[in-house]
């Protein structure tokens, strides 16, 4: 799987650090994107080794910021595409579906195997596959909550 090169965040605050002559910019990342953000940033900051990043706004259309869409408004194939790019979803598949994971070795292939489809597009047209997808996604969300509580 290709490592993410960027992540989305919203501008939340900034703080003046007078003693160092800098400001701290506070960006908020959706919890579902936190693993990708952590990977892009290279883990915990190392004060002995500064790493610079570029920041740019994400805009859709003429000067319109990205509108947040409700997860339930996305088509099942879109949901599956998003989930398959989440490192925590990959960890969930490896842990909860080890046999399916060994047989497929990628999140997209594993989802197709579990849902018994040739393409994730079929999640939008095949009722049985759509039901299986929603069950899998519900299991994943429950798994994430348990991981956070036990973490």
pLDDT of 80 > 90? The answer is yes
Backbone angles phi, psi at 45, to 5 degrees: -65, 145
Is there a domain that residue 125 lies in?
yes
Same domain as 54, residue 33 = yes
Same domain as 89, residue 133 = yes
Domain range enclosing 55: 10-65
Same domain as 57, residue 89 = no
Confidence of residue 117 (pLDDT cuts 50, 70, 90): very high
Tell me: the pLDDT tens digits for 90-115?
Answer: 999 999 999 999 998 899 999 999 99
CB-CB neighbours of 115 under 10 Å: 22
C-alpha to C-alpha distances, 52 to 41, 49, 90, 102, 145, nearest whole angstrom: 10, 10, 29, 38, 33
pLDDT of 1 > 60? The answer is no
Q: Which of 65, 85, 101 is the last residue of a domain?
A: 65
Angstrom distance (rounded) from CA 113 to CA 128:
13
Is there a domain that residue 79 lies in?
yes
Q: Determine what percent of the chain is predicted with pLDDT higher than 90.
A: 44
pLDDT attached to residue 67: 56
Same domain as 98, residue 41 = no
Tell me: the pLDDT tens digits for 34-51?
Answer: 888 888 888 888 878 888
Same domain as 123, residue 84 = yes
* Structure-model confidence comparison of residues 44 and 88, the more confident one: 88
Contact indicator for 46, 38 with CB cutoff of 8 Å: no
Q: Which residues in 28-55 are b (16+ Cβ under 10 Å) and which e?
A: ebeeebebbbeeeeeeeeeeeeeeeeee
For CA atoms 90, 94, 97, 103, the dihedral sign is positive
* Structure-model confidence comparison of residues 14 and 126, the more confident one: 126
Is there a domain that residue 2 lies in?
no
């Amino acid at each position: 799987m290709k490592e993410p090169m960027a992540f989305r965040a919203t501008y939340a605050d900034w703080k003046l650090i007078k003693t160092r002559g800098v400001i701290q910019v506070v960006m908020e990342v959706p919890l579902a994107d936190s693993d990708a953000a952590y990977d892009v940033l290279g883990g915990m900051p190392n004060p002995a080794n500064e790493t610079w990043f570029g920041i740019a706004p994400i805009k859709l259309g003429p000067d319109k910021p990205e509108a947040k869409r409700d997860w339930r408004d996305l088509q099942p194939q879109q949901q599956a595409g998003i989930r398959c790019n989440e490192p925590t979803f990959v960890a969930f598949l490896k842990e909860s579906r080890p046999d399916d994971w060994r047989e497929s070795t990628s999140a997209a292939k594993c989802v197709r195997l579990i849902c018994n489809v040739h393409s994730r597009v079929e999640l939008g047209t095949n009722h049985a596959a759509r039901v299986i997808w929603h069950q899998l996604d519900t299991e994943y969300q429950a798994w994430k909550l348990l991981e956070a509580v036990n973490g």
